[in-house]
Chain A
Amino acid sequence: MRDQKLWTWHLAAGAIILFLLGLHMAIMHLDALLGIFNPAGGHPIDWANVVARGQSLAFTVTYILLLGAALFHGLYGLRNILFELDPAPPLKKALSWVLILVGVGLFIFGTWAAWVGHQVASLT
């Protein structure tokens, strides 16, 4: 049951990454067409544009969503690769826990950073 659900989430995370990375690429490289995301004008990574996007709650949510999807997708994929090395069952369990802790830790840290960034940008 567990692997069926994990695999389904893996696919779902892949689809989310595809959409959000597509959005990222579009904002970064199609700025001439999508000027709406670069209100300050100039280059998309100019500080003023970064702040403007940081002020947006929707953008902050997409950052957190992308972080979660990328962490799950990447770490689950890494787990599959490691499991194909045929570790002993206790080592499998330990590996799973290490990856869960790494993933949750990075997600909490990234979410905190994104949220603080949003608040700081909102004060600007």
Chain B
Amino acid sequence: MSNGNLPEQIVFRIRRFAPGRDKEPVWKEYPIAYEAGMTILDGLWKVKETIDPTLAWRASCRMGVCGSCGMLINGKAGLGCNTQIAELGTAVVTVAPLANFPIVRDLVPDLRPLFDAHTALSPYILRADTAEQEEPTREYYQSAEQMEAYLQFSYCIKCACCMAACPTCATDPVYSGPVALAQAHRYNTDTRDDGFEVRKEVLAGEVGPWRCHFAGECSRVCPKGVDPAKAIQLMKRQLVADALGLRKKPPLAQPVEKPEGIERRPGIPEAPPPTV
């Protein structure tokens, strides 16, 4: 087995806390055998299976898609499933629950503040032609450049790593946080969306982007490479332009007919029929 500079054994130093049972969090150490390719999540499973079955954390997909296993790894927020122990380069790995959230148990944070703020900002397409959206007959046209404006923000998996790294979230419970604000910007920038005025009702108030200090920690820790700090600054610019009456409202994407007289390339199958 080749572990580079890593020893055969890794010590997981985990913050344990069960509200109602424990008065305060305690750190416990669990030595486990290191195997090449082991992730933090693999290590936690090993601890649970071989040392302490009461250890609790949240995980689902194990491939950096679902956003469930956000945790503080050696003090930095990240996903347990896509953080290799080898890349940390330490024989002792410190694991703690995401900061800035109440703790359900051990490494399980209560993410309700995130989802409440997210829901309040209507993170979905808002437009008047609801009939077309519910029973689509055509597609909304959007150019590649228009999609590029919001694409990176749509990669957010709501893992809350950015919220745990945000210094404003650490002190200000009113602030919506990078997840909700970046997603509000993602939809405000989408040319298919006409909900800027609806979201503005919330964003223009105290919960909006105004308290962001642009520390940039949210972007630094994002495991999906999203840049929420940029989204928040762009949103501020958009809202200031709106307050000054200078915001240019982009034309709303319209449904377009399927072009006629175009031959499908051979070997490309038809899209499956709608299932919803």
Q: Which residues of A contact B (CB under 8 A)?
A: 1-8, 11, 80, 83-86
Contacts and interface: CB of A to CB of B under 8 A. Distances in A.
**Most A C-beta atoms less than 10 A away, residue of B168, B204, B208, B244:** B204
B242 interface: yes
Nearest to B244: A8
A84 B168 contact: yes
Interface in B181-213: 200-201, 203-206, 208, 210-211
Contacts of A4: 200, 203-205, 208, 210, 239-240, 242-243
B171 to A, nearest CB: 5
B19 interface: no
Nearest to A10: B210
Interface in B229-245: 236, 239-240, 242-244
What are the nearest 9 A-B pairs in CB distance?
Answer: A4-B204, A8-B243, A1-B204, A8-B240, A3-B210, A7-B210, A4-B239, A84-B171, A4-B243
A1 B207 CA distance: 11
Q: For chain B, give the interface size range.
A: 20 to 34
A19 to B, nearest CB: 17
B148 interface: no
A120 B33 CA distance: 86
A3 B202 CA distance: 10
B173 interface: yes
Contact of A83 (B172, B205, B208): B172
Contact of A2 (B200, B204, B211, B244): B204
24 contacts: A1-B201, A2-B205, A2-B206, A3-B205, A3-B206, A3-B208, A4-B204, A4-B208, A4-B210, A4-B239, A4-B243, A5-B204, A7-B210, A7-B239, A7-B240, A7-B243, A11-B240, A80-B210, A80-B211, A83-B172, A84-B172, A84-B211, A86-B171, A86-B174
Contacts of A2: 204-206
Given A86-B171, A86-B173, 10 more contacts: A1-B204, A1-B205, A3-B204, A4-B205, A4-B240, A5-B204, A7-B239, A80-B210, A80-B211, A85-B171
A85 B240 CA distance: 25
A80 B172 CA distance: 11
Contacts, number: 47
A83 B211 CA distance: 9
Interface string B226-265: 0000000000100110111000000000000000000000
Contacts of B173: 86
Contact of A86 (B172, B201, B205, B236): B172
B42 to A, nearest CB: 39
A83 B240 CA distance: 21
A4 B235 CA distance: 11
A7 B168 CA distance: 17
Contacts of B240: 4, 7-8, 11
Contacts of A8: 239-240, 243-244
Contacts of B204: 1-5
Nearest to A1: B204
A80 B206 CA distance: 10
